[in-house]
Amino acid sequence: MAGDKAGFVSHDAILPVYDARSRVLILGTIPSPKSREAGFYYAHPQNRFWRVLSALFGAPTPSDTAEKTAFVLERGIALWDVLKSCRITGASDSTIKDAVVNDLSEIFSTAPIRAVFTTGVTASRLYQKHCRERYEHYGIPAFGLPSTSPANIGRYSLERLTAEYRAILNYL
């Protein structure tokens, strides 16, 4: 569409992270430009996702993709995003158009997922709208968590985010 600055983003380059030990699935909306550039989740240097998980588990913050992958897998956490593709301007979830959701059934069929946690209002809304009913036969509850995005820094301190993310521990 003329004048539309939203670019098409496909999620194919960043694969889901999970294995047969994963008990919690954490879903973002779609990788940010920095995450797409780095080829892994929550890669913006000001995103607090990895610091929150590190604080939650009392562990050092992983620094590269291999460490981050091992960190979550060793703790029974799977990572992916609600969306497979969409049109989006930058990292602004409010600009999402033409959303196509990921097929989560392989993760649910492979791993003993006990709960799904979405990071941020948009991921939660999209999961509820497009995924909840589709996967309800698995009997897996879904919960929304605050975004760890730099855009949310003024609303949530690291301590408050860590307290909110503590809910994950109930399902590990």
CATH of the domain at 31: 3.40.470.10
Residue 142 in domain:
yes
- For residue 43, which of 13, 4, 22 has the smallest C-alpha distance? 13
Report the domain count for the chain.
Answer: 1
How far is Cα 60 from Cα 34, in angstroms, rounded to an integer? 22
Q: Is 165 part of any domain?
A: yes
What length is written for the chain?
A: 172
Which range marks the domain in which residue 113 is found? 13-171
Q: Is residue 1 part of a domain?
A: no
What's the pLDDT band for 3 if we cut at 50, 70, 90?
A: very low
Q: What is the pLDDT of residues 49-67, one digit of tens each?
A: 999 999 999 999 999 999 9
**Which tokens in the block code for residue 73?**
């897998």
Residue 23 located in a structural domain: yes
Q: Is 152 a catalytic residue?
A: no
Establish if 3 belongs to a structural domain. no
pLDDT single digits (tens) 111-134: 999 999 999 999 999 999 999 889
Of the residues 47, 102, 152, 170, which is catalytic? 47
In a domain, 131, yes or no: yes
3 φ, ψ (degrees, to nearest 5): 80, -5
| 74 part of a folded domain | yes
Q: ∠165-70-108 over CA atoms, to 5°? A: 65
- Quick: pLDDT tens for 25-46: 999 988 888 898 899 999 999 9
Domain presence at residue 2: no
* d(C-alpha 24, C-alpha 172), whole Å: 7
